[in-house]
Amino acid sequence: MTHSKQSGTGAGSIPRVLISADRSSSGKTTISMGLMAALVSRGYKVQPFKVALDYIDPSYHTEITGRFCRNLDGYLMDENGILDVYTHACETGDGADIAIIEGVRGLYEGFESLSDLGSTAQIAKILKCPVVFVINARSITRSSAALISGYKNFDPDVEIAGVILNNIGGRRHAEKAKEAIEYYTGVPVIGIIPRDPSMQISMRHLGLMPALEGRRRLGNEGFDERLRGIEEIITKGIDVDRFLEIARSANPLESLENSVFSPSVSSGSYRPKIGIALDEAFNFYYHDNIDLLELAGAEIVYFSPVKDLQLPDVDGLYIGGGYPELFAAELEANESMRTDIKEASAAGMPVYAECGGLMYLTEKISTGVPGKGTYHDASMPESTYLMVGALPGHTIMGQTRVVSYNIGTLDRDCLIGKEGSSFKGHEFHHSEIREIPGDAEFAITLSRGTGIKGDRDGLIACNTLGSYAHLHGVAYRELAGSLVEAARKFRDSRGSGISGTPGENIQNTQT
């Protein structure tokens, strides 16, 4: 059990505030982005967080603040894990001045109907964090007071400290809603955001793609212009000083004596190189995982399966999620990269792939397939593209939609842990893997979730494992150490004197 002490300095004492709402599509993401940008413009070092396991919103928070956004999930992580992620993020680098946490869905939505497990409210209570509540007030005035009253009284341990009214039609609309809320609930209205089609258009474009892809599509100038437009609207409509007062009212947190974010190897030990795929096709990573890989002894080397012609000289690969289906033509065209990865896998290099990475490692991807699916994109014509082929199977897009937590157990020792180890993760995909041979091997059995085939996930070949499960290294603590150890063993097996490109190294080990 982790012991704690009261913190007077550090992460536990900096201002913090959580932005939530009554439901999705209330505008909390846009407002969170605008407030982060406004504080950065004032010179604050803002540490962003996102409740739950989304990748897209955090990519914008990272872009705006210059600090990696971290995810907080009360179903995957225990209380100490949440405090650990929070503390590590705020104290990384030269430290943050303020923490802003964007909630998920409605304030009380979570894993269960009769508890706050997995909800935004759970995170607010663990972090002793005041809540600024966003209402989409379109077409309501006095009713907004009833809404706030209900949310305020539902759980007295959650402190709703301020309200932002979004989608306001005019001066009279704003006055009536503000007066009703403050009179009946005593909660101050600190912001009024007018109905503004330009902001809705900006978020319709930005919110459907990660920041890296948004910048690529819109260009640096167009991308920055949209973010500036959001900041200007938010700055005009919200009393930022009142927002800061609420953040400063947060009670001190207890600091943890022990942290998972601690170096696990001596500084003199050899650091195996782990290549991480990072580009417009693959960018769904929890940055905590990357930090934990480094703390476990890895040297991180980034590469692009879309643009780079060959693998860098590495001892292992981590290919995360993303949108390989949108870049399938470019990935197919980069035959030399596909060949390098397939040869590395065949030579026994540890290769770990999640979701989009799994799809890339299969033999081919088919897009635009007619059928019952709901996932369609104009940029995905009906076509089939060759992929790496390190794992068997044919990825079909658009015939299913899976959004779920999952729970799995390892059936064997593998590059992510020992036989019998269990994890909680999540999966979110619009694809399925077909044409899997009957003798294909899997490393994971799921007791919750969909996986690749039946209750099986973790398709394996040689020392390569691809799964639909996304894992967070604070929730599943074997992940980072196991990957680094697998990379170190591979390095040792091919000899420390080998140098040059991976293709040359692999050829040397086979002669």
CA 296, CA 292: separation in Å to the nearest integer? 6
CA 159, CA 441: separation in Å to the nearest integer? 50
**Closest CA relative to residue 253, chosen from 94, 469, 120, 84:** 84
Which amino acid, 382? E
**Angle, helix 287-295 to helix 479-494, in steps of 10 degrees:** 50
How do beta strands 351-354 and 464-467 pair?
A: parallel
CA 30, CA 152: separation in Å to the nearest integer? 23
Indicate the helix (H) or strand (E) that contains 457. Answer: strand 456-461
Look-up: residue for tokens 């939530």?
Answer: 20
What is residue 87's three-state secondary structure? helix
Task: Look at the alpha carbons of 79, 80, 81, 82 in this order and tell me if their dihedral is positive or negative.
Answer: positive
Which amino acid, 79? E
CA 502, CA 500: separation in Å to the nearest integer? 7
Residues in the chain: 511
Active site residue 355: yes
CA 53, CA 9: separation in Å to the nearest integer? 29
Catalytic residue among 90, 355, 414, 462: 355
In 260-326, DSSP assigns E strands to 273-277, 282-284, 299-303, 316-319, 321-322
CA 435, CA 477: separation in Å to the nearest integer? 33
CA 450, CA 106: separation in Å to the nearest integer? 25
With b meaning 16 or more CB within 10 Å and e meaning fewer, what string describes 34-43?
A: bbbbbbbeee
Tokens matching residue 278: 């990072």
Catalytic annotation, residues: 355
